[in-house]
Chain A
Amino acid sequence: MDYSNQSGFRQRKLQPKVRMRGSAVDSGEPSQLFDDTSAGHNAGHSGVDKGPMVYAGQSLLSDPVSNLAMAYGSSLASQGKEMMDKNLDRFIPISKLKYYFAVDTVYVGKKLGLLVFPYMHENWEVSYQQDTPVAPRFDVNAPDLYIPAMAFITYILVAGLALGTQNRFSPEILGMQASSALVWLIIEVLAVLLSLYLVTVNTDLTTIDLVAFSGYKYVGMIVGVLAGLLFGKMGYYLTLLWCCASIFVFMIRTLRLKILSEAAAEGVLVRGAKNQLRMYLTMAIAAAQPVFMYWLTFHLVR
């Protein structure tokens, strides 16, 4: 039983790999987003029907009727999965999301270092490759969603830990912290979108980019709360101050290239109300980060 289930699962896992590679070839990307680590890749190529029969032959189910049933079931499952993927793709662009998760350890390490110490980094431009931005794995300036997602979850856990050391913990609190932090994230992204629309900025910042940038502050929050747990209130305030300053500088240097016009971004003082408004907008977005960082963590450290 378990063996046939495994084969069914492996079938479903192999098929998306084949599909993704096909899409990569179609769009003309020379490099893949993800390395191919599937082991039984060649076995999956021969088709859906042969797979279950090969595995089933080795198990106790050598009954032709159950073979047929299994083949039918696995084809039905793959059809259902395809339909669901197609419908889901309309609401959440899954292929675009994959770009944001194409990270590796070196990138994550460098990016985390950049988030707490952005003062030595010189080149903040995102490198492009034939009009599409390079995957985050190859460029440390590209935004990604891995760090914000992980930092969000770690923040919830650290909040639970902090509340636990003060005997204020209960399982519902985790859910409340998670939903309130998520709501503040949504509000911030909506506010930034609204202000970008009002100032009529022609930028290639997508919504997911904004979610990624807003999620980077969770790293600073985690460091602050952990320092507060280890060293008390003074440690919390000092670390939070440091992280707020670095997030501020990080956001300004990253957003400056995206929001301001080319000339202004290089540091040349371009006069004009438009550029001034855009500079104010960048500074407002960057200044909102420390405010949120303090707002979401001060009740955790007593």
Chain B
Amino acid sequence: MALFGLIQAAVLFSNAMAVLHEERFLAQSKIGWGVDQSIGGFGEDPGIKAQLVNLVRSVRTVMRVPLIAVNSVCVVLLLLFG
């Protein structure tokens, strides 16, 4: 039962990362979350903020299509079984 809670939390979390607005949060913006990729350089530790932005970007790219499938399955199951 706690396992299903974990799966639910994981699906919700990935959905949250997938719906983030690219321009407002993940690019060079006024909020300052974005990182200028060209300055990073090799051999230098990118730093936590850059790693986080990279992580969110890669999760979005990887999970876009599987999330469509998982969300459809969840919608169907919730419609059928409440």
A residues adjacent to B (C-beta < 8 A): 176, 179-180, 182-183, 186-187, 197-200, 274
Contact = CB atoms under 8 A, between A and B. Distances in A.
B76 interface: no
A199 B5 CA distance: 28
Contact of A183 (B3, B46, B48, B52): B3
Contact of B1 (A176, A197, A200): A176
Given A176-B1, A197-B51, A198-B52, A183 B45 contact: no
Nearest to B5: A183
B45 A200 contact: yes
Contacts of B2: 176, 179-180, 182-183
B80 interface: no
Interface string B46-62: 10100110010000000
B65 interface: no
Interface string B1-40: 1110110000000000000000000000000000000000
A179 B1 contact: yes
A198 B53 CA distance: 10
Contact of B6 (A176, A187, A198, A200): A187
Contact of B55 (A176, A183, A197): A197
A200 B52 CA distance: 11
B6 A274 contact: no
Contacts of B5: 183
Interface residues of B, number: 11
Contacts of B46: 200
A183 B6 CA distance: 7
Given A179-B1, A200-B46, A274-B45, A186 B6 contact: yes
Contacts of A183: 2-3, 5-6
Nearest to B3: A179
Nearest to A274: B45
Nearest to B52: A198
25 contacts: A176-B1, A176-B2, A179-B1, A179-B2, A179-B3, A180-B2, A182-B2, A182-B3, A183-B2, A183-B3, A183-B5, A183-B6, A186-B6, A187-B6, A197-B51, A197-B55, A198-B48, A198-B51, A198-B52, A198-B55, A199-B48, A200-B45, A200-B46, A200-B51, A274-B45
Given A179-B1, A183-B2, 10 more contacts: A176-B2, A180-B2, A182-B3, A183-B3, A187-B6, A197-B55, A198-B51, A199-B48, A200-B46, A200-B51
A182 B5 CA distance: 12
A198 B45 CA distance: 10
Nearest to A194: B55
B9 to A, nearest CB: 9
Contacts of B1: 176, 179
Contacts of A180: 2
Nearest to A172: B1
A49 B13 CA distance: 55
Nearest to B47: A200
